[in-house]
Structure 1
Amino acid sequence: MTNIVPPFNKESAAAKVQAAENAWNSRDPEKVSLAYTPNSQWRNRDQFFEGRHEIVRFLTDKWKTESHYKLRKHLWSFTDKRISVRFEYEWQHSQSGQWYRTHGNEHWEFNEDGLMAVRDMSANDIHIEEEERKFKS
């Protein structure tokens, strides 16, 4: 797929969000990391880190714990080089077996090559029962 670059319009912003959803649902940390600048700055809840190597480390650890991960992202707003999304994903804790639904927001800033330079994420987890799942594989 051709990289989607700023300035964004409604269609290109929506396509960028869909591409991100697809990449994250692959659960492939290396693949996901390629959408970010080599020195991308992240805030993920209470964690702050920088760079693709740290992104791969973070996602590798995340998906060791979060099995059956399924994500949906929705375009919230955009400007020329920024996109905000709301998202929800479901996952099962690999050790306890407890199901969760996570709700949150992300704010993204892109460079001129369409790579994400800044990712700022806030989220909350809620316990759900398996029969309450929306995103069954």
Structure 2
Amino acid sequence: MSESRPPLPPFTRETAIRKVRAAEDGWNGRSPEKVALAYTADSRWRNRHEIFAGRPAIVEFLTRKWAHEHEYRLIKELWAFTEDRIAVRFAYEFHDDAGQWFRAYGNENWAFDGNGLMRERHASINDLPIDAGERLFRWDRSGPRPADHPGLSDLGL
């Protein structure tokens, strides 16, 4: 039995938006093992300066990432889509071990297989130091962004 992660390609605007929100919710749960299941077993990634492939590498990367990005909260927004590709822009907030807050801004390009699993992820990200009072992403520590919390465009980002 093959793995499946709806919505499946070909994407419509509605299904692409659902796919983006599902990815956001998964990452906000901060469970590397669960997040990795949304990707093909041999998924290829470029994240900032790191290039790697496969679920074990995804789990290792996310485990390391979330060990240093404390109180991580992410918002993604659909930018464009085709039948089996989605482009998103995103921002996330976190603080480091020293307590310095950051807002990271970025873009991702995704390619999916026929079962809705992501086979490629290319991410470009920049970090901006912010003061704690400048934080905009405020909801319970672990879990999805509440439905009534503003998105990126609503926040002027």
Q: Which residue of the partner structure matches residue 109 of structure 2?
A: 107
How many residue pairs get matched?
136
Q: Output the CA distance in 2 between the equivalents of 1:56 and 1:102.
A: 21
Deviations 1:2-40 (A, max 9, x none): 621000000000000000000000000011000000000
Please give the per-residue CA displacement for 1:27-70, whole angstroms capped at 9, x wherever unaligned. 00011000000000000000000000000000000000001000
Gap runs ≥5 in structure 2: 140-157
Partner Cα distance (1:127, 1:112) in 2: 39
Q: In the alignment, residue 19 of structure 1 is paired with which amino acid?
A: A
Structure 2 residue aligned with 1:23: 26
Q: Which position in structure 2 is the counterpart of 1:38?
A: 41
How far is 1:102 from its partner?
Answer: 0.2
Relative to the length of structure 1, the TM-score reads 0.97
**RMSD of the alignment, in Å?**
1.1
**Structure 2 residue 112 is matched with structure 1 residue 116:** no
Deviation >4 Å, runs of 4+: none
- Aligned partner of 1:87 in structure 2 is 90
> Aligned residue for 2:78?
75
Work out the CA distance in 1 between the residues paired with 2:6 and 2:106.
25
Q: Aligned AA for 2:41?
A: P
> Which one-letter code corresponds to 1:132 in the other structure?
E
Aligned equivalents of 2:103 and 2:74: distance in 1? 10
Aligned position for 2:52: 49
What letter corresponds to residue 48 of structure 2 in structure 1?
R
- Structure 1 residue matching 2:104: 3-state secondary structure: strand
2 CA distance for matches of 1:60 and 1:3?
A: 25
CA distance in 2, matches of 1:75, 1:31: 22
SS of residue matched to 1:135: coil
- State percent identity of aligned pairs: 53
Select the structure that is richer in strand.
Answer: 1
Contiguous gaps of at least 5 residues in structure 1: none
